[in-house]
Structure 1
């Protein structure tokens, strides 16, 4: 009985080692492919928030880490600097709307050097299908309502959903989601405009 248990234990150990080795080899073989796919997807999103006509650099490679402007995390969040002929033309800043209906909403905001929004996209969310998910471009064009807008003293009160006296539409049966996104986008614009020079002085350090 003891010998049989030892034999079975040895067989299980061999299988465990083989399985672990197979997973490790698979990860090693596919790592570069996964990284390349992630970079392509990131570049696609970045080209949506910052038009290709505004830059001649690889945006995903021009990444800096900025202090988080959200209560969701204290970890620095990436921003991607667009340049043309070596001069900064725009920036895409990742942030979170912490107060979505079903949790945090991750977004990225593109801005030109005057703090005017080039475009905005939602990167991740858990909002209710058919209601809060209208922040996605594949559902509606609502997110395009931020394009070419900025925040000034004279229009500060406009940065709210219509239910709160602002200029942005809310969704039928789902006001919390657009309210959260509007608030986060506004905060990102204000942050860039108030800290532009210090942001542009940041090193490109995402790899480090």
Structure 2
């Protein structure tokens, strides 16, 4: 009996060790995967910054940055980064991280560049999980759709035209996909509204400051 119990005990111990090793390996793999995803997102953000910066600036927008919590405007309860480009001390562009939370397959993370006149310098998708072949043409590498925001403002087109064409707006939808471009158009519009409403606070905040905005963007009419 004691020998059998001893064998059972050793078996249980072996299973426990194997289980612990397996769990440790799984956790290590998850940590490595998360680190790789974060690194890919950082690299994507750096590539986008290189394109969206204004033509003339004399500071380092990577260090001249603040954090902003503005869920109704920027689409996330998390703090998102706003970088400032300056020329001779004057802010000439804001580069905002923004999230379209209503993508077809979840969050679409964006970088939106806005100049001092409230015009879009450009928009780039940093991360998304949209359906390949349908929603992924929002990526610049897969098509020019995202460049349709270049030079736009809240007055070009008019406020009620900041929609996809299917909803009576000025922006093209993608072939076979409306939800994805609708989400991106909405996120860019709210980013522009945020700059129009709070741009001075974003420009004046000390480097490293975290600002919180709990107010709401202007009401949007219903989509069709």
TM over 0.5: yes
Structure 1 residue matching 2:72: 3-state secondary structure: coil
Out of 12, 34, 52, the residue aligned to residue 49 of structure 1 is 52
Q: Contact (CA 8 Å) 2:61, 2:83: kept in 1 or not?
A: no
SS state at 2:180 partner: helix
Tell me, yes or no, if the aligned pair for 1:64 and 1:78 is still in contact at 8 Å: yes
Shift of 1:50: 1.7
Partner-residue secondary structure (3-state), 2:142: coil
Q: 1:49 to 1:37 in 2, by over 3 A?
A: same
CA RMSD of aligned residues (A): 3.8
The answer to whether the 8 Å contact 2:96/2:111 transfers is yes
Q: How does 1:36-185 map to 2 (within 5 A)?
A: 42-69=45-72, 73-152=76-155, 155-185=158-188
SS of the residue corresponding to residue 82 of structure 2 reads: strand
For structure 1, which segment, 139-148 or 44-53, has the greater mean C-alpha deviation from structure 2 after superposition? 44-53
Question: Which runs of 5 or more residues in structure 1 are unaligned?
Answer: 5-34
**Highest RCO, 1 vs 2 (Cα 8 Å, sep ≥ 6):** 2
TM-score for the superposition, normalised by structure 2 = 0.71
TM-score (norm 1): 0.76
Find the aligned partners of 1:87 and 1:136 in 2 and give their Cα distance: 31
Distance in 2 (CA, whole Å) between partners of 1:146 and 1:178 is 12
Q: Which runs of 5+ in 2 are unaligned?
A: 8-37, 211-224
Contact 1:64–1:204 (CA<8 Å) still a contact in 2? no
2: distance between equivalents of 1:45 and 1:171?
22
| Large movers: runs of 4+ above 4 Å | 1-4, 35-41
Contact 1:70 1:97 survives alignment (8 Å): no
Distance 1:164 1:37, change over 3 A: closer
Distance 2:125 2:98 in 1: 10
2:66·2:205 contact (CA, 8 Å) conserved in 1?
no
Deviations 1:133-166 (A, max 9, x none): 0100000010000000000397012111111111
CA distance in 2, matches of 1:56, 1:67: 25
* Residues 104/70 of structure 1: CA separation in 2 closer, same or farther (3 Å cut): farther
Per the alignment, residue 22 of structure 2 pairs with none
